[in-house]
């Protein structure tokens, strides 16, 4: 009943091709945006910005990036952390080495450099497929880890790289609320672009390559072009996410913040959220980011005193078990669960 | 010249240790097509179990008990994780093994503690000199590494015999070749998977023993799985000899690069050099040196 599209006639091509063809979806999106931009600032506390909302949004952006590569183009990558690191350090070096650099521009240029790097490490994907490629992308991960730890020039000869003040076009983004709105705006715009990209010609080419690359080649899709484009766009998103993570979330960071665990974290988000779904990236990010925080709270809430080491081990256990549980209930992630839910809502609460 | 051979020999022996971990991956991938990321966690879990049991009972009792624990673990994984996920895509199964890895790492350290335990197998750790007649002063090798190489050799021979000469081994090869065909002639898939995961568990135990004796049993031995991955793609996911030869190439390349290339471009390159080396090989043979040829049909 809630989701019934009866009576919503499409009378123009524009209406037929709309991003959200169903009225309820449009209302839902507007509601979510209103809540995110206006509702949240009314109630959120200092901690919920810096501890939960900002990192969640940035990781969701990285998850969108990986989803483009893995979910849409079918190239499994374990090098997300590396692409984020390249974005962060490139943006950082642009800011400190180029006079009067606009920070917003630096963040996006950082993403651009990450895209170039992604293309470079995407080249093997033309020969190597599947899990072989996944392991090969680890080469990018470990190489970048080494690069930023060993070559001090990148971090300006300091152990930690320090982010510049976030002043863009004369507006200073220093309080958590301002930073939250800054990140939210970028994430919304980039998510919108991604959503449009994947349903256009480019996205369809990616999906054809994902489903079977030989068949895609036969129907005239250029593999080289398509795969490298996926690597570039994906790395751009990851690079921007990395720059935001460094500049907006952390402020001061060391190379280890972008190590292999970060790559796995983002991969978890994409798979649990749902491969090949922009919405899934957000749902997965919320789940993977929030669950460890919640698990951490549980012993304290019940007043059970346990050591931090034990708490960390229990957290890993519960987290692992939850991943397996969710995979068994719905291997295609939260995005598919939402799809099924929508189907149910068409009729609910009536039986027919 | 003697120094060069010493480096090569050291690398080869280190490579054997990587092969030990890679073997576990190959066994499971061959038989079930699962890229088992939990292999490192299994190594850690097995080593922790063994070392803690040895606190109470001597080695010859602790070892079979740990084997039994690994078989029970294989049984649980097969029942709880693999059976409900049968027929899913590779990436989903891969993700599930990541879940297993998290769980095992947490579980092992919750019940056995997360301190560093020394595992004493009664092997002298002191270095020794070999081939003194050929090289001036001989070549310096670690006795533990030689022991590890011997263990790995024995394990590979054992596995080869098991695969080639026993009825279960024949069934394993049939399943590895074609799941559906094997099932249609009456090979019980679930049982085969149980056997394979048990075998991988016992290989993990052996790897854990050797690594534990070398580094001490601690969390970081779960990370040797990351060292085994380049070995795996270099040798091919589906080849037992590939895991061994891949290990030797990677071990040797790593040591040589560390000694001769390291001072030029800065130390610590062993973390990524193996991956880049494997990547170069893959560009020429995308399925690894000994992997099954990937045939794609439209």
DSSP state string for A21-48 = -SHHHHHHHHHHHHIIIIIHHHH--HHI
Taking the CA of residue B125 and the nearest CA in chain A, the distance in Å comes to: 31
The pLDDT-based confidence of A14 (bands split at 50, 70, 90) is confident
- Phi/psi at A65 (nearest 5 deg)? -60, -50
Residue pairs between chains A and B whose CB atoms are closer than 8 Å: 139
Cα gap A310→A296, rounded to integer Å = 11
pLDDT in tens, A26-50: 888 999 999 989 888 888 888 888 8
CATH of segment(s) A22-347: 1.10.3470
Nearest to A189 by CA among A36, A28, A12: A36
Domain ranges (residues) in chain B: 2-284
**Mean pLDDT to the nearest integer, B286-298:** 76
Task: Please name the residues between 229 and 288 in chain A that touch chain B, using a CB distance below 8 Å.
Answer: 260, 264, 267-268, 271-272, 275
DSSP calls for B162-176: HHHHSHHHHHHHHHH
Domain ranges (residues) in chain A: 22-347
Residue of B87, B218, B219, B286 to mutate, testing the A interface (most A Cβ within 10 Å of its Cβ): B286
Q: What is the pTM of this model?
A: 0.89
Q: What is the dihedral of CA A80, A120, A231, A145, to 10 degrees?
A: 0
Chain A CB contacts of B78 below 8 Å: none
Chain B CB contacts of A214 below 8 Å: 296, 298
With a pLDDT cut of 70, the percent of chain B lying above it is 92
CA angle B56–B75–B64, rounded 5-degree value: 30
Is B137 or A100 the better-scoring residue by pLDDT?
A100
The pLDDT-based confidence of A22 (bands split at 50, 70, 90) is confident
In angstroms, what is the C-alpha Rg of chain A? 21
pLDDT in tens, B63-115: 999 999 999 999 999 899 888 887 788 888 888 998 999 999 889 888 887 77
Fold of B2-284: ABC transporter involved in vitamin B12 uptake, BtuC (1.10.3470)
Cα gap B264→B272, rounded to integer Å = 16
pLDDT in tens, B105-117: 889 888 887 778 8
Is A20 an 8 Å CB contact of chain B?
Answer: no
Chain A CB contacts of B275 below 8 Å: 135-136, 138-139, 142-143
A314:B106 CB<8 A = yes
The pLDDT-based confidence of A87 (bands split at 50, 70, 90) is very high
Which run of H or of E encompasses B127? strand B127-130
**Mean pLDDT to the nearest integer, A294-302:** 76
B290 pLDDT exceeds 70? yes
Cα gap A325→A315, rounded to integer Å = 15
SS3 label, residue A155: helix
- Phi/psi at B139 (nearest 5 deg)? -105, 140
SS3 label, residue B151: helix
Closest CB to B232 among A124, A135, A150: A135
**Mean pLDDT to the nearest integer, A239-243:** 95
pLDDT in tens, A176-215: 888 899 999 999 999 999 999 999 999 999 999 999 888 9
A135:B233 CB<8 A = yes
Cα gap B160→A218, rounded to integer Å = 42
pLDDT of residue B133: 61
Taking the CA of residue B242 and the nearest CA in chain A, the distance in Å comes to: 14
Distances (CA, A) of B289 to A75, A252, B110, B254: 22, 44, 40, 18
Is A6 or A76 the better-scoring residue by pLDDT?
A76
Mean pLDDT of chain A: 87
pLDDT of residue B139: 67
pLDDT of residue B130: 65
pLDDT of residue B180: 82
């Amino acid at each position: 009943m809630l989701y019934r599209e009866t009576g919503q006639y499409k009378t123009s091509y524009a209406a037929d091709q709309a991003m959200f063809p169903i009225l309820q979806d449009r209302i839902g999106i507007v509601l979510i945006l209103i809540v995110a931009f206006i509702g949240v600032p009314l109630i959120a506390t200092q901690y919920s910005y810096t501890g939960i909302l900002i990192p969640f949004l940035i990781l969701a952006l990285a998850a969108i990036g990986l989803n483009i590569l893995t979910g849409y183009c079918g190239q499994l990558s374990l090098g997300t952390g590396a692409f984020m690191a390249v974005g962060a350090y490139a943006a950082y070096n642009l800011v400190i080495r180029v006079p009067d650099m606009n920070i917003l521009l630096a963040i996006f240029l950082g993403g651009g450099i990450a895209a170039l790097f992604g293309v470079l490490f995407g080249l093997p994907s033309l020969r190597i497929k599947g899990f072989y490629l996944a392991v090969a992308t680890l080469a990018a991960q470990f190489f970048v880890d080494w690069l930023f730890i060993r070559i001090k020039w990148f971090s300006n000869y300091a152990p930690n790289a320090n982010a510049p003040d976030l002043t863009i076009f004369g507006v200073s983004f220093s309080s958590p609320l301002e930073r939250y709105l800054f990140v939210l705006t970028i994430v919304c715009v980039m998510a919108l672009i991604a959503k449009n990209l994947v349903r256009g010609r480019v996205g369809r080419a990616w999906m054809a390559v994902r489903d079977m690359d030989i068949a895609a080649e036969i129907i005239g899709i250029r593999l080289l072009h398509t795969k490298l484009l996926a690597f570039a766009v994906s790395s751009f998103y990851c690079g921007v996410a990395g720059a935001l993570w460094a500049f907006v979330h952390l402020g001061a960071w060391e190379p280890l913040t972008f190590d292999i665990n970060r790559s796995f974290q983002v991969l978890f988000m994409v798979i649990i959220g749902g491969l090949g779904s922009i919405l899934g990236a957000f749902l997965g990010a919320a789940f993977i980011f929030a669950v460890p925080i919640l698990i951490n709270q549980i012993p304290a809430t019940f007043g059970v005193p346990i050591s931090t080491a034990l708490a960390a081990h229990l957290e890993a256990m519960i987290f692992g078990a939850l991943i397996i549980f969710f995979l068994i209930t719905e291997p295609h992630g939260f995005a598919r669960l939402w799809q099924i839910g929508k189907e149910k809502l068409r009729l609910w609460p009536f039986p027919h | 010249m003697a120094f060069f051979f010493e480096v090569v020999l050291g690398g080869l022996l280190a490579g054997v240790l990587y092969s030990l971990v890679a073997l576990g991956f190959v066994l499971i991938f061959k038989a079930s097509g699962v890229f088992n990321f939990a292999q490192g966690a299994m190594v850690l879990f097995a080593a922790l179990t063994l070392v803690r049991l040895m606190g109470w009972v001597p080695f010859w009792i602790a070892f079979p008990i740990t084997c039994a624990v690994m078989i029970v673990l294989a049984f649980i994984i097969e029942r709880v994780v693999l059976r409900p996920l049968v027929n899913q895509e590779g990436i989903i199964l891969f993700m599930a093994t990541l879940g297993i890895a998290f769980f095992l790492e947490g579980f092992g350290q919750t019940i056995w503690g997360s301190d560093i335990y020394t595992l004493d197998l009664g092997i002298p750790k002191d270095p020794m000199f070999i081939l003194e007649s050929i090289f001036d002063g001989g070549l310096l090798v670690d006795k533990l590494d030689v022991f590890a190489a011997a263990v790995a050799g024995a394990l590979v021979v054992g596995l080869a015999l098991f695969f080639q000469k026993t009825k279960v081994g024949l069934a394993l090869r049939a399943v590895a070749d074609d799941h559906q065909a094997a099932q249609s002639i009456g090979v019980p898939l679930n049982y085969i998977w149980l056997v394979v995961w048990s075998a991988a568990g016992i290989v993990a135990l052996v790897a854990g023993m050797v690594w534990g004796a070398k580094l001490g049993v601690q969390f970081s031995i779960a990370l040797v799985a990351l060292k085994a991955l380049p070995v795996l793609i270099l040798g091919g996911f589906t080849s037992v000899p590939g895991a061994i030869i891949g290990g030797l190439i990677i071990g040797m390349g790593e040591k040589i690069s560390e000694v001769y290339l390291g001072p030029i471009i800065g130390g610590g390159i062993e973390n990524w050099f193996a991956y880049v080396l494997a990547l170069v090989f893959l560009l020429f043979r995308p399925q690894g040196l000994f992997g099954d040829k990937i045939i794609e049909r439209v």
